[in-house]
Amino acid sequence: MAVLIHSLLSGLMQIPDTCYYFLLISALIFMSINIQFNGETKSLVESITVAALLADLPLAGKRFAVERNGEIVPKSQLANVDVCDGDSFEIVIAVGGG
Amino acid sequence: MPRNTEKLIIADKQYNSRLLVGTGKYRDFNETRDAIVMSGAEIVTVAIRRVNIGQNANEPSLLEVLPPSKFTILPNTAGCYNAKEAVRTLRLARELLDGHALVKLEVLADDSTLFPNMPETIIAAKELVADGFQVMVYCTDDPIQAKALEEIGCVAVMPLASLIGSGMGILNPWNLDIILDRATVPVLVDAGIGTASDAAIAMELGCDGVLMNTAIAKAKNPVLMASAMKKAVEAGREAYRAGRMAKKIYQASASSPSEGKIT
């Protein structure tokens, strides 16, 4: 649905196809940002960075890795990448295994 | 191939211990650490899983108990059933371990046997090697498949001795023998070891190392079994290097002199 509205608007108004404008339009029409987060649906009311998304997790001082839409987000980029509607995240750690 | 190097060498790195251990199935992290330290293993496998969102932030993580500064952490793809999942998992592992390239590839075919899925393993191995990973690969004890994995560029081949977690020991030493005869990369037995003698037999056959998890973790006393496995791997290796006597099936040979017996 969000993708449909976005493509209609960007088609009509010639808005560049970037995440920033997508989020702006979404906010204007009072839509929340819906993402998949380790397999669960999560709604955000405002645009945040990936680093902010992870702030509540028990990860301080621990090793973890983040994948967004199937691509690794390097640790150095976590604070620079914004969460977009429809994103899918996997956050993993090392656990005991054979 | 003669396998008489003093130390285990994988991807140009030398290791003192030929015993590699998994970190699953232990009661708690204390037991994990105590058993692994006792085993003398330098390479330890870990699994990659979603972070538990409800977890207590103060609880230690596995890599705090077994720090990468002290152990070579070998992330594996246990639980992956196709090449895509396995490659994805190891890319996450590489990010998690700051670019660490040595990994264990394990693509499963079936959740009751956990037998290797060789077509998917081959696909994943090609992709990982092309992406710069150093791949140690869990495989069937099929000499043709093991050689194919070596030719793809895997740094070690790891045929199963018997089913993962079964403790059934080495079911086909003859196949392992053919793999060992042909391989030019290290061959490690992975999966199926049940007790110390199984590990010793693997090493006596000439394997470069043994990887095990359940045999230690599910022993009644895991720390004591870790100690036994360490000794078994060392003893088996020494016996291999010493060169065993020839078997004489139908003819005994007395150990004591036949001359000078009292009459």
Instruction: Check A98 against B45: CB less than 8 A apart.
Output: yes
User: Cβ B214–A98 below 8 Å, yes or no?
Assistant: yes
CA distance B243 to chain A (A): 32
Write the burial class of residue B27 (CB in 10 Å: 0-12 exposed, 13-18 middle, 19+ buried).
Answer: exposed
Looking at the predicted structure, is the pLDDT value of residue B251 above 80? yes
Mean per-residue pLDDT over chain B, rounded = 94
CB hemisphere CA count around A36 (13 angstroms) = 12
> From CA B193, how far away is CA B87, in angstroms rounded?
27
A87-92 average pLDDT score: 94
Check if B100 contacts A (Cβ < 8 Å).
Answer: no
- Does the distance separating the beta carbons of B32 and A97 come in below 8 Å? no
Residues of A with CB under 8 A from a CB of B: 38-39, 57-60, 62-67, 70, 72, 74-75, 90-98
User: In chain A, which residue's Cα lies nearest the Cα of B164?
Assistant: A98
Q: What is the pLDDT of residues B97-117, one digit of tens each?
A: 999 999 999 999 999 999 999
Return the pLDDT at B173: 96
On chain B, the residues whose CB falls within 8 A of the CB of A96 are 22-26, 32, 46-47, 62
Q: What is the pLDDT of residues A15-46, one digit of tens each?
A: 556 666 665 555 555 568 999 999 999 998 88
Of A66, A72, A97, the CB nearest to B46: A97
Q: What ipTM did this prediction achieve?
A: 0.87
Give the pLDDT mean for B51-74.
85
CA–CA distances in Å: residue B86 to residues B46, B158, B164, B176: 14, 16, 18, 25
For the cut 90, the answer to whether the pLDDT of residue A57 exceeds it is no
Cβ burial A13-37 (10 Å sphere, 16+ → b, else e):
eeeeeeeeebbebbeeeebebebeb
User: The dihedral of CA A66, A69, A72, A78: what is its sign?
Assistant: negative
